[in-house]
Amino acid sequence: MDEVRIIEIKKSIFEDNDRDADRLRSELKEKGVFLLNLMSSPGSGKTTTLINVINLLKENIRIAVMEADIDSDVDARKIKEATGIETIQLHTGGMCHLDAEMTRQGLENLNLKETDLAILENVGNLVCPAEFDTGSCCNVMILSVPEGHDKPLKYPLMFSICDVVLINKIDVAPYFDFDMDECVRNIHSRNPKAEVMPICARTGEGVQAFTDWLLTAVSEWKNNKTK
């Protein structure tokens, strides 16, 4: 149960990542697979959030996970143990992000015929992953309370490309100088369309709202209502 496949990802040979990402998205559309790209700083709670989301959704839709990491397979093992679903580890060999071709290498190792929702947990980094379209159908990022409400001002690109911003670790907000209203204002100053959802991945608080959003997004994608 605790063994996971580890895929060593090769650096992309394609120069035009945007074109390649659009091609990958079209292929996923044909296959009826929704690809979610999840990003955050190191330690914001991506893996714990995913475990909650998967356990809420796995009876409704078929899910597979790709855990990208520079080294180690800590997260892939955690997800597989806690959810029982198909999980592979992508080793980026020091690379700070994934692009569309690297994501494709991961997807080729999943059983896409049996998958409605493929989740990519990107490398923990607020800078580089924002610069490369992975071919995903939606981008979600997690900002955790201890990181501070000023982060949208300091990492503007990341906040501007995300459909959803999950604000995690709200249970510890009393111990930090964190202003939720200010945080939401900072996010919307970068991206007025971003959905902002406060959660506590540790206790599961607020996660249902996000899984509802995600279930609708996957269903619309499969029913051809969105691009």
> In the complex, which residues of this chain contact a second copy (CB under 8 A)?
41-43, 69-72, 74-75, 94, 96, 123-128, 131, 144, 146-148, 150-151, 153-157, 169, 171-172, 175-176
Nearer to a second copy, 39 or 100 (CB): 39
Supply the minimum distance, in Å, between the C-beta of residue 219 and a second copy: 34
Supply the minimum distance, in Å, between the C-beta of residue 29 and a second copy: 30
Partners of residue 173 on adjacent β-strands: none
Question: In b/e form, how buried is each residue of 2-12, taking b as 16+ CB within 10 angstroms?
Answer: eebeebebeeb
Quote the tokens at residue 227: 């691009």
Supply the minimum distance, in Å, between the C-beta of residue 62 and a second copy: 28
Nearer to a second copy, 74 or 185 (CB): 74
Nearer to a second copy, 131 or 220 (CB): 131
Nearer to a second copy, 28 or 201 (CB): 201
The Cα 18–Cα 135 span in angstroms is 8
Supply the minimum distance, in Å, between the C-beta of residue 198 and a second copy: 16
Cβ–Cβ under 8 Å, residues 186 and 149? yes
Helix (H, G, I), strand (E, B) or coil at 119: strand
C-alpha triplet 152, 208, 99: angle, nearest 5°? 50
